[in-house]
Chain A
């Protein structure tokens, strides 16, 4: 178990602001277990009706890409302009396209 000096692992908190929207990362907190993380997340991040659903996940369970957002990891999508609708020339007078 990952432990800070306080002995409590770190959790990342995600809130769904309302139905129909994705859960969004809002911050993090320390808790002794999953249940406490959920309760603390409610008290800390939804004091003013900011959400209808909460996820908490231990930070050490997240796998991430490298920090640099411009690194070659994302290169494959860089040169594929034909994936965008604006790549295609359609005459002005063609309707609904």
Chain B
């Protein structure tokens, strides 16, 4: 992108004041605005981790693509996996507006230098897991993501609006799948309960460590990247999910789960935080497998990327020969950084909804 007007140098303090004022006024920071280095770094880390999670998240469900029990379920699962890929791409594009390169982020993922959500390091053992992932994992993701639609960084907020609309399909298809199984045989009902037992606690861990152990939360909230603390979101998720579990006829595996009349919400037990720490540090059941698979897909796809570039170069050469301009009609090189123009979003203001529907 070319900037036609050259701005005069603005004093650093004035820039910072302006940044703070925009954030305080609930306006959005856009790619070429001045922003504190730590704000940029925090966003890059968060958006990259989020993008990686979408991409890695295709694997647990991809495990069942060829074994879906009907054409209908297979078509749904394919569409869902394609959405996850799309979400990853929206998010990589948002990260790139901050001056990083997607190829660099992919490299960091497959070399283990950047993380993804711990939830995807658990295996999908039965087809009921596909339903439970939609219901609980995507349900928890919606809880986390709906407030991000109001994130202070414009490109991230806009990507989240799009993603939240699509996540609603993911959650509903999962719940419907489970309802269908629950209407089936005893063996099918046991399969659902087993999947719920395995995924419940990891789903609660998706909201991150308890507030007391989440040192960056305060700053992210001050910058309006984050709107609620981990514990607030976790409570909201439990309150939403308990009645859904009752309707489904499954038991959530938490003996401490009980209604708190005073608070008007559900009390629940403490997740095993040492498990979260282990999984984050690479000792989950599938960590190595997930990253290996991603690396293999990237390396196996190298020839496709090279072929596409070679084809584009050949077409350009043919076209310039045809038009008689043999010598350079190529465009000038610019940095990988870019900035979407204009303030439009096709969605306009997004109002926060409890479940993204």
Interface residue? B305 (CB, 8 A) = yes
- A27-B340, A47-B83, A59-B1 are known contacts. Are A67 and B6 too (CB-CB below 8 A)? no
- A27-B90, A47-B82 are known contacts. Are A66 and B7 too (CB-CB below 8 A)? yes
Write out the residue numbers on chain A whose beta carbons fall within 8 Å of the beta carbon of B162: 26-27
Write out the residue numbers on chain B whose beta carbons fall within 8 Å of the beta carbon of A80: none
Write out the residue numbers on chain B whose beta carbons fall within 8 Å of the beta carbon of A67: 3, 7, 30-34, 339
Count class of interface residues, chain B: 35 or more
Binary per-residue interface labels of chain B (71-92) against chain A in the complex, 1 for a CB within 8 Å, 0 otherwise: 0000000010011001001100
Write out the residue numbers on chain A whose beta carbons fall within 8 Å of the beta carbon of B166: 48
The answer to whether A32 touches B311, judged by C-beta atoms less than 8 angstroms apart, is: yes
The answer to whether B3 touches A64, judged by C-beta atoms less than 8 angstroms apart, is: yes
Binary per-residue interface labels of chain A (42-64) against chain B in the complex, 1 for a CB within 8 Å, 0 otherwise: 01100110100000001111111
The answer to whether B331 touches A2, judged by C-beta atoms less than 8 angstroms apart, is: yes
Which of A6, A27, A43 sits near B103, CB closer than 8 Å?
Answer: A6
- A4-B101, A4-B336, A8-B309 are known contacts. Are A62 and B341 too (CB-CB below 8 A)? yes
Binary per-residue interface labels of chain B (154-167) against chain A in the complex, 1 for a CB within 8 Å, 0 otherwise: 00001100100010
The answer to whether A1 touches B331, judged by C-beta atoms less than 8 angstroms apart, is: yes
The answer to whether B333 touches A7, judged by C-beta atoms less than 8 angstroms apart, is: no
Write out the residue numbers on chain B whose beta carbons fall within 8 Å of the beta carbon of A48: 166
Of residues 63 through 86 on chain A, the ones whose CB sits less than 8 Å from some CB of chain B are 63-68, 71, 73
Binary per-residue interface labels of chain B (294-333) against chain A in the complex, 1 for a CB within 8 Å, 0 otherwise: 0000000000011011011001100000000000001111
Across chains A and B, the number of contacting residue pairs, with CB separation under 8 Å, is 128
Write out the residue numbers on chain B whose beta carbons fall within 8 Å of the beta carbon of A30: 102
The answer to whether A44 touches B3, judged by C-beta atoms less than 8 angstroms apart, is: no
Write out the residue numbers on chain A whose beta carbons fall within 8 Å of the beta carbon of B340: 12, 25, 27-28
Of residues 194 through 219 on chain B, the ones whose CB sits less than 8 Å from some CB of chain A are none
Write out the residue numbers on chain B whose beta carbons fall within 8 Å of the beta carbon of A38: none
Write out the residue numbers on chain B whose beta carbons fall within 8 Å of the beta carbon of A68: 7, 10, 33
Write out the residue numbers on chain A whose beta carbons fall within 8 Å of the beta carbon of B17: none
Interface residue? B344 (CB, 8 A) = yes
The answer to whether B2 touches A63, judged by C-beta atoms less than 8 angstroms apart, is: yes
Please measure, in the bound complex, the distance between the C-alpha atom of A20 and the C-alpha atom of B96, giving whole angstroms.
32
- A3-B333, A33-B311, A64-B341 are known contacts. Are A26 and B346 too (CB-CB below 8 A)? yes
Which partner residue on chain A sits nearest B313 by CB separation? A1
Which partner residue on chain B sits nearest A60 by CB separation? B334
- A64-B339, A67-B30, A67-B339 are known contacts. Are A36 and B86 too (CB-CB below 8 A)? no
Residue among B6, B93, B345, B346 facing the most chain A CB atoms (10 A cut-off): B346
Write out the residue numbers on chain B whose beta carbons fall within 8 Å of the beta carbon of A65: 3-5
Write out the residue numbers on chain A whose beta carbons fall within 8 Å of the beta carbon of B312: 32-33, 36
Which partner residue on chain A sits nearest B334 by CB separation? A60
Write out the residue numbers on chain B whose beta carbons fall within 8 Å of the beta carbon of A36: 308, 312
- New A-B pairs, 7, CB < 8 Å, besides A2-B331, A60-B332: A6-B103, A12-B341, A32-B305, A47-B86, A62-B341, A64-B339, A68-B7
Where the two chains meet, the residues of B that have a C-beta atom closer than 8 Å to any C-beta of A are 1-7, 10, 30-34, 79, 82-83, 86, 89-90, 93, 96, 101-104, 158-159, 162, 166, 305-306, 308-309, 311-312, 315-316, 330-334, 336, 338-342, 344-346
